Structure 1
Amino acid sequence: MSTITRPPRVTPAEALALAATVALPSIAQGPVARRPFAVRLAELADADGRAIRLFARLRAGHGDGPLLVRVPGRGWVVLPLASRDVRAVLEDRAFTPAARGKRGALGHFQPDGVLITREPGLRERRRALNDQVLGSGFGPFARVVEEEAATLPRHGLLTWPRFHAMHWRIVRRVVLGDGARDDVILTRQLDRLRADANWSDLRGHRTDVFNAFRRRLAGHLARAEPGSLAAALARAHAAPDVHPEGQVPQWLFAFDGAATAAYRALALAAAQRGPVDPRATVLESVRLWPITIAIVREVAGPTEWDVPEGTTVVIHSPYVNRAEPGDAYRPELWREGGGEWAGVPFSAGFARCAGEDLVLFTAATLLEAVLRERSVRASVSLTGALPAMLNHFRLRFALKAP
């Protein structure tokens, strides 16, 4: 029988440092929709690097175990630092992903999503539907990625807005079918809701935008276009309380993060001499520069830690992804049978990203397609110990046909 222990509590000065160095920059950048100006300020201040160094000092001073922080008005927060504790949190169903803050944020555009479903039985059935649809086969999507990659220039300058617009066409075609390729209004509606979600429950729900978004989305889903996730969803025949259509906003939202991962992976690939493993490079991109800065769980049952139910657990991805694997580009971490801890780029455990394989397939296919037709030179040099932040908004590439 495991011993129940109470994690050591940080000092008031350390709690203040965590608020100023970790919490405030993360919130300012936007947990659901990144704010370019705030990301630029965080980059200039080396916000993630400062946070990583702070966690390293706290670990050196308090040991490898988790730390306990008192947040005024929010109760207790536990910060796991070692890979052992990170795994334990993500694998134990006593730590629910439906944390209060996450419910407040994602409720703006996916109130029926699996990530914020509190009732365990319903959550498991919604998760099963997500796994079924998102793992239904990727074959048709290679053509979509290749066709959209061909719209990028072969000569000249590649910027984030152009790459991002191209990637959104991929997302809409993969999820909803070719008929949604040019529906930028749907994307703008989702962006509006995501911007509100940055404020969690501090901002009221924009029901007019949400209802317009939901109607527009329903029109695409009704087509169930062959070769799309919408068609796989229509074949699934889930129970009404699962709300199959209510899972789709999460697919669109999460899939958008793959654009950032692929764009940064292109910078990693451009810095390499010799062949590049596209899939491992995308994984390294997400490990080194996580799309989700904080993986949040909430205590919903007995654990080995003496903390009350409702306690928030925050896994700081930039720190845990680098603490053991290091700061260098290490594609060998992702070779089959490697066995070395490589962080949690797509989370882990029972709530691991359901679309991980799909995202990796499309992002790696995109990276391969771009590199096949072009030589690429990035606006930043990525060698040796890599920076804690890589601002994709300002990242540019000089392209040249070989």
Structure 2
Amino acid sequence: MKTLLTISWRNIWRHPARSSVLLAAIIIGLWAGVMAVGTMNGMIQQRTDHVIDSELTHVQVHHPEFLSEGYSWMYIPDHEKITSWLDDDERVASHTSRVLTDGMLQSPVKTTGIRIRGIDMESENRTTTFHENMVEGDYLDTDMRNPVIIGRRLADEHNLDLGHRIVLTFEDVNNELTSGSFNIAGFFESASADYDKRNVLIRSGDFLALLSDQPVYHEIAMMLENDACASSVASDLNNEFPDIHAQTWSQLSPELNMMVQMGGSMTYIITMIIMIALAFGILNTMLMALFERMRELGMLISIGMSRLRVFTMIMLESVMLSITGAVAGMLLARASLYYFRDTGINLEIFADARGFAEIGFDHIIYPIITPGEYTGILLVVIFITLLASLYPALKAIRINPLEAAKDH
């Protein structure tokens, strides 16, 4: 085998220019593939982390029908017992309770349907990173009476500025229409334009004063010490408190979960597409080398070299060339990923930052790729190379030594 490896490697470099062109194509192709996969992984990971860390959290608790109906009277029963249970569970890092309802925002310009979120600032800041989205003004800890923070995009639609007054209208727990006047304390800007246009945040105390004569909460959101425990925590909550509905982030946001799952399969799809294109180059190169060496291969067979060894030699040439290019391409990609790990890839050259925000993504992407994905890419390269080399190798073992000598 060592002799075959040596001969195969030397055969590759009989025509340095031709082999170098193919090698360069493989290197560039694999570099582009790994960078594409890493960028896509980075986009998905950043989107997932942002949604979970700033709003969705690992597990949420609601009234069984609240998410489908949204009525303010569908609040969580036994709220104090549930929060006490969470305080005693070592798997739960932190949790926060929210008051939620759908309503209308009225300004001098127009009226817009929104979701009103009443939050407790202390527990919310311990649990989520939403306060980091503030871009102007103060958070809800201001001394202003009835403060509200709204998305910058929603403010632009209503021509609102800091200090302006808006009216929020909604149904209380008795299904009676009520309104409250709130003063704009600050603006936030998240990675999702849709979220910014549809949500306003006020203090839960101010909200409850208008909503109910007793404390009621519609959502308990919690961050866990390990997100792998999300399913077990949700299951335990549902078993312990049958009148509530606890769900993990993947259940609450199936589209986000699907995007995460699809990201893993896209690694292999992108690599397959690139390698199938390169396979034609490998096939062409090996066939050209085969036709040039017909007499030589016929002579090797005639002096006793088994056809199996000839088959193995042709296959080794293809595999060695492809693996060399693949390893070089992945090393180049690894160096590129290391560079962009800190600087990020700015996609504003393709579209405006606000355009990416409209679909819920950041315009600066920090690419990520796992060791398992490197291994998977290398296996795909070997598999496609073997397929591309199969025809030239089979053609080589069918050579008739007498005819090969006569033709040349």
Q: TM-score range by the shorter chain?
A: under 0.3
Larger Rg: 2
The answer to which structure has the higher helix fraction is 2
TM-score scaled by length of structure 1: 0.22
